[in-house]
């Protein structure tokens, strides 16, 4: 286990709505005059030191947040575990001896440890939601494209989003309002879908821990299955996971394949295997995955009108022990709905399994970020 910081700073801060709040910046975002490492020393060595802050960092700083440091990320953000062979595994104070979740591992660890109030992170396939669940935090993956990623290292651009982690819903809402461009009107969520087919992806212990939190909102709750099973095409969430993994891998290779072949970075075994697989993705695979993605976009559009949200687990269970491999496929079956549809998703600390935190994931239609933040305030 290790401290989440790669480098700490004495930022003076400014006046604004975030004045007095400490900001930990995931090492994918540029800070002027500070090398960006993307979780890998070779990346740091082969890229110029940025001259300007990433746009998301600049917005938070202009609103008064004070940067206290750059924090660890899984290599090139391609992991959900929170381990990094070069920099170590940041502490998870909510679950000692267990991983913090990735790839926004350092952001989650710094906030959960009380070393920062806001953790700036990214979420491509769950990299804010899973650490939030494991560390007992609030987090938001915004609607794809609503928060600028200028000045941030990409992984899969049509999935990548930038959001924050916080210890309380008020801070989450305050920081995300800044990143989303200020307050705007929203439709309150009055109905929750808790489809039994999706909840069936989680163990009974997780269901028992989280379903009471769904009921506690006091809203209309509907457990009708989200998907209609077709005999020739079973397991829709597994199809979604495969489509997500295929598209992400292809985009990740387009983004980084040339650099990998030229710079020959040393990766941890999991990341290395994923990039090796990414180099083999065929165009026919992309076509098939794209059809699944289009179906998920249509499903979210049809089933999540204004005022309705999807309530499902943020992860299958609590954080795995350090050295224990997580069930990555089970995680992605729960996180891929938002990823494939570009929808916003909040993670809320809502239950405990064996006295370890597990989070509730609330997904709404694209553009409904403010509705999710308002609902989080009620949790």
Catalytically annotated residues: 26, 103, 127
Neighbour count for residue 121 (Cβ, 10 Å) = 35
Torsion over CA: 39, 167, 358, 378 (sign) = negative
Burial bucket for residue 205 (CB in 10 Å: 0-12, 13-18, 19+)? middle
Q: What is the rounded CA–CA span in Å between residue 138 and residue 272?
A: 30
Name the token pair of 356: 């370890």
Q: What is the rounded CA–CA span in Å between residue 74 and residue 88?
A: 9
Give how far the C-alpha of residue 12 lies from the chain's centroid of Cα atoms, to the nearest Å.
Answer: 28
Integer angstrom CA distances of residue 27 from 4, 59, 70, 171: 11, 17, 6, 21
From 98, 127, 216, 119, select the one nearest 167 (Cα to Cα): 119
Query: Which residue has 């709505």 as its token pair?
Result: 17
């Amino acid at each position: 286990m290790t401290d989440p910081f790669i480098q700490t700073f004495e930022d003076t801060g400014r006046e604004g709505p975030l004045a007095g709040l400490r900001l930990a910046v995931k090492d994918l975002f540029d800070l002027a005059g500070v090398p960006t490492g993307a979780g890998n020393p070779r990346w740091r060595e082969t890229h110029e030191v940025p001259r300007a802050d990433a746009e998301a960092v600049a917005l938070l700083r202009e609103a008064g947040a004070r940067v206290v440091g750059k924090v660890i990320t899984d290599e090139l953000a391609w992991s959900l575990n929170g381990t990094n062979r070069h920099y170590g595994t940041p502490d998870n104070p909510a679950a000692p001896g267990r991983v913090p979740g990735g790839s926004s591992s350092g952001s989650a660890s710094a906030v959960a440890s009380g070393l920062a109030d806001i953790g700036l992170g990214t979420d491509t396939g769950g990299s804010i939601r899973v650490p939030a669940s494991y560390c007992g935090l609030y987090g938001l993956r915004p609607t794809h494209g609503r928060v600028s990623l200028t000045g941030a290292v990409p992984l899969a651009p049509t999935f990548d989003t930038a959001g924050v982690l916080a210890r309380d819903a008020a801070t989450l809402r305050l920081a995300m309002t800044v990143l989303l461009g200020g307050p705007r009107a929203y439709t309150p969520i009055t109905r929750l879908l808790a489809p039994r087919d999706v909840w069936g992806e989680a163990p009974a212990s997780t269901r028992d821990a989280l379903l009471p939190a769904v009921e506690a909102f006091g809203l209309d709750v509907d457990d009708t299955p989200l998907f209609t099973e077709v005999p020739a095409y079973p397991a829709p969430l597994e199809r979604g996971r495969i489509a997500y993994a295929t598209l992400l891998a292809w985009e990740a290779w387009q983004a980084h394949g040339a650099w990998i072949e030229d710079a020959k970075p040393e990766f941890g075994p999991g990341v290395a295997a994923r990039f090796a697989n990414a180099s083999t993705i065929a165009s026919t695979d992309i076509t098939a995955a794209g059809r699944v993605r289009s179906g998920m976009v249509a499903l979210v559009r049809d089933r999540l009108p204004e005022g309705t949200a999807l309530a499902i687990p943020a992860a299958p269970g609590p954080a795995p022990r350090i050295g224990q491999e997580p069930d990555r496929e089970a995680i992605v079956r729960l996180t891929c709905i938002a990823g494939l549809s570009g929808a916003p998703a909040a993670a809320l600390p809502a239950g405990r399994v064996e006295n370890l935190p597990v989070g509730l994931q609330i997904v709404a239609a694209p553009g409904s970020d403010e509705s999710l933040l308002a609902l989080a305030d009620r949790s």
